[in-house]
Amino acid sequence: MRFHAAVLREPGKPLTLEELQVPKLRPGQVLVKLGRSGICAAQLAEAGGGAGSPGELPRLLGHEGTGWVHDLGAGIKHVNSGDHVVLHWRPGRGAAAEPARYRARGLGTVYAGPVSTFGEYAVVSADRVTAIPPDFDPDFGALMGCAVTTGLGIVNNNAKVRFGESVVVRDASGIGLSVVQGAALASAGCIVAVDAFEPTLALARKLGATHAVNERKEKLPQAVLAIVGPGGADVVVGDAGGADAAARCCELARPGGRVVLVGVSPRDSRPFPPRGPRKTLSVSQGGESRPDQDIPRYVALHRMGKLPLSGLVTARYRLEKINEALSDLRDGKIAGRCLLLFQ
């Protein structure tokens, strides 16, 4: 069987749409027919050849999505053919299989990791799929693969936000919006969203932020400290994607506060020098989420009305528009999350 997928041939160059051959399934591999794929900032780094570069090329990208199990390799018991599943990059239940290798005319071997989602089909490792209810909205299912599980995991597992604490989310777009939701679910007191784009800040307010600061119009850290108090916030969550990311976040945290960085650090990033009042600095790995346990819980929360997800998706693209989607994400044109649509 053949299918279409977006392939990274060379870092810094546009992805190309190629026709690939589905390989014979090995033990522990699952063939999934994709319905949706999220697009994460990690793919911008991979496609651009920066930190987090993907490895052997040409290669398939994408690490969050939803679809339906089309076929199974030997030894898989936690999902069945026809199941509606979330594809996620954090390992969950099931066997860890070797990554798939595809063939394409004119390209030879096309590589992939344990999971890929930028194609109509994907052969993934069994521990990268988790079943969800058949009637669960595929848009929301795709968000469970990274955005939601990472954002809520940061709040619950990394920062361990407690009732009434102040939380600052610096760089509120993308995963930051799910951090805002997680902080609201944890009954944080003051939740401050910081970003350079007004549409993102407006969306953050709808999702639970009590305050919004436009870093292009207001001076930092003064604007944030005027809200949370001169001592700083209890928790600060920020994007690791800047050379001075740690320092920019630490200046917003109180002595003894917790700072959590998320994302891919650039090669020129510099560690925060250990000066001044002590603050706990950590780097989140996908919110330390456990997909097979967390995804069913978050699906239940959504169905109870406690985790609204409809506002998170603000842009949708067909597969043939993948480079436009990446460009819009890179340029800050997407307030929330963007999805690739396959069906």
Continuous H helices in the chain: 41-48, 138-143, 147-153, 175-185, 198-206, 222-228, 245-250, 291-303, 322-330
Q: What is the pLDDT of residue 340?
A: 98
> Both 185 and 215 in a single domain?
yes
> Both 215 and 314 in a single domain?
no
The Cα–Cα gap between 147 and 174 comes to: 7
> Both 266 and 177 in a single domain?
yes
Rounded average pLDDT per 10-residue block, the chain, 343 residues: 96 96 98 97 83 77 98 97 98 96 95 98 99 98 97 98 98 93 98 96 97 97 98 94 80 96 62 63 95 98 94 95 96 94 89
Number of structural domains in the chain: 2
> Both 93 and 212 in a single domain?
no
The three-state secondary structure class of 121 is: strand
In a domain, 173, yes or no: yes
> Both 211 and 277 in a single domain?
yes
Q: What is the pLDDT of residue 200?
A: 95
> Both 271 and 209 in a single domain?
yes
Containing structural domain, residue 14: 2-137+309-341
In a domain, 302, yes or no: no
> Both 156 and 107 in a single domain?
no
> Both 209 and 325 in a single domain?
no
CATH number at residue 231: 3.40.50.720
In a domain, 13, yes or no: yes
DSSP string, 243-274: TTHHHHHHTTEEEEEEEEEESPPPTT--PPP-
Report the DSSP beta bridge partners of residue 2: 21
Q: What is the pLDDT of residue 51?
A: 54
CATH number at residue 54: 3.90.180.10
Q: What is the pLDDT of residue 277?
A: 67
Report the DSSP beta bridge partners of residue 214: 195
> Both 132 and 153 in a single domain?
no
Q: What is the pLDDT of residue 267?
A: 46
In a domain, 30, yes or no: yes
> Both 272 and 171 in a single domain?
yes
In a domain, 278, yes or no: yes
Q: What is the pLDDT of residue 180?
A: 98
In a domain, 143, yes or no: no
**Taking Cα atoms as reference points, which of 200, 151, 215 lies closest to residue 332?**
200
Q: What is the pLDDT of residue 274?
A: 44
Q: What is the pLDDT of residue 144?
A: 97
In a domain, 299, yes or no: no
| Cβ atoms 167, 208 nearer than 8 A | no
Q: What is the pLDDT of residue 268?
A: 45
The Cα–Cα gap between 253 and 239 comes to: 15
> Both 240 and 182 in a single domain?
yes
> Both 111 and 178 in a single domain?
no
Q: What is the pLDDT of residue 299?
A: 98
Q: What is the pLDDT of residue 41?
A: 86
Q: What is the pLDDT of residue 146?
A: 96
In a domain, 105, yes or no: yes
